[in-house]
Amino acid sequence: MSKPTGFMEYARELPPDRQPHVRALDYLEMHLDFPEVRLQEQAARCMSCGIPFCHTGTLLNGMASGCPLHNLIPEWNQMVYRGLWREALKRLLRTNNFPEFTGRVCPAPCEGSCTLSLNEEAVTVKQIECTIIERGFTEGWMRPEPPVLRTGKRVAVVGSGPSGLACADQLNKAGHWVTVFERADRIGGLLMYGIPNMKLDKRVVERRIDLMAAEGVQFVTGTEVGKRLPAAGLQAEFDAVVLTAGATRPRDLPVEGRHLQGIHLAIDFLSADTRSLLGDPARAGDWISARYKEVVVIGGGDTGTDCVAAALRHGCTDLAQFEILPRPPDHRQPDNPWPEWPRTYRLDYGQEEAIALLGRDPREYGILTRRCVGDEAGRVREVHTVRVAWEQVDGRRTFREIPGTEQRWPARLVLLALGFLGPEDTLPAAFGVEQDARSNVAAEYGRFATNVPGIFCAGDMRRGQSLVVWAIDEGRGAARECDRYLMGGTELA
């Protein structure tokens, strides 16, 4: 145990963030340094529970409870408290290939199920995790470790998001020759083009890609399997294929006026923003500017928040973010008990910046978009909405419009952050793999095998839109089963 009385002696504390009105002027990461002694005090708060719910990794009421990767959280908390950083790193890397990603962008279901959070604030698991891996890079402990022996087997991984990278990393450790194919111009999937730089600096992604390449993983960009590269050719060249192309079919908004200029999918806006930041002149025409515009973001999730933050950095003049659901409560409700993920109100970084720059939280809850209205030139100028009330009807939760609450919002840029429906059909069709009723590739969790021998699937392409931490878990699982298929057994966890 770290310190038997640590959870009584120390309050939860996180490193300070850069001031919202300052950080909103650039794309640098938000968090400032935290003294080592303070971080060790936070590690001392871990109770080393007999049953550590923080790494159970299960679904309760449809949401993650505990870490899906089953990170050995009490163990590396104890190591950090005792100053044994290298030992903490070894524990962390046993279960998580990329803690530098999850330590930045994961919503931390581990903290939601921390035993201490029953009546106190949870242990700062996410911050400690990120600090461990960054200490590893700083100290030079994260060096290339290519496998000593090669099996001679060749595996193609299609898609370079967190699931594909985790799968490739594990298969390479098992000694197979792994090639990752990515249709975009850079490796990383949503890590590169779906998450803005202030949340995940692209140098952090590139650092990991360089390490994997030094360990023997090959990366091929600008190649869309199933179109430019036929699936049959891939199957002939490789002993196995793992599909990890994600759930990239966005949910659209079927309302009147959707065709107007100035209405864009959030992923297109964020991708273009990152390309501009990376200095990609060939894609300059994709740039979607929010400068001097009234912006409406439709969607209240993480992607919506990222759109809010990016629009502020562009220099928008006004901003509103619509969420059809009601405002979450400030504290857990009786129907949301521990260790479920707490469905409570949070002020995220984008909204905090909006308050600093515009003087208000841009979120509007319980609001339904009815139509978009444009000018004579076909450019969007207004969004028309109505308020809704949620109620139970025949055991199902539904909403009704509230008469007299109609409203018009000025909008010269509308961003649709409504999530994703599933994978595009091109890749499954090219390999002849079956899809389920939700269009996801049909592959049982735990086995990850499709109906076609030698073809596996993992990540959002198999389970639907989910968290980065679930994607890494699935990539590891698919690698394990692919290794078993190739070798008749496996030592991969």
- In the chain, which stretches have pLDDT less than 70? 281-285
What confidence score (pLDDT) does residue 285 get?
A: 67
| Tens-place pLDDT, residues 377-436 | 999 999 999 999 999 888 899 999 999 999 999 999 999 999 999 999 999 999 999 999
Q: What's the CATH number where 96 sits?
A: 1.10.1060.10
446 and 476 housed in the same domain: yes
What confidence score (pLDDT) does residue 394 get?
A: 87
406 and 261 housed in the same domain: yes
> Where in the sequence is the domain holding 173, given as residue range(s)?
154-249+421-487
236 and 284 housed in the same domain: no
What confidence score (pLDDT) does residue 235 get?
A: 96
Beta bridge partners of 329: none
What confidence score (pLDDT) does residue 2 get?
A: 77
193 and 313 housed in the same domain: no
Which domain-ending residue is among 357, 387, 418? 418
What confidence score (pLDDT) does residue 50 get?
A: 86
Q: Is residue 408 part of a domain?
A: yes
What confidence score (pLDDT) does residue 139 get?
A: 98
18 and 128 housed in the same domain: yes
What confidence score (pLDDT) does residue 395 get?
A: 84
What confidence score (pLDDT) does residue 354 get?
A: 98
What confidence score (pLDDT) does residue 284 get?
A: 60
242 and 189 housed in the same domain: yes
| pTM of model > 0.75 | yes
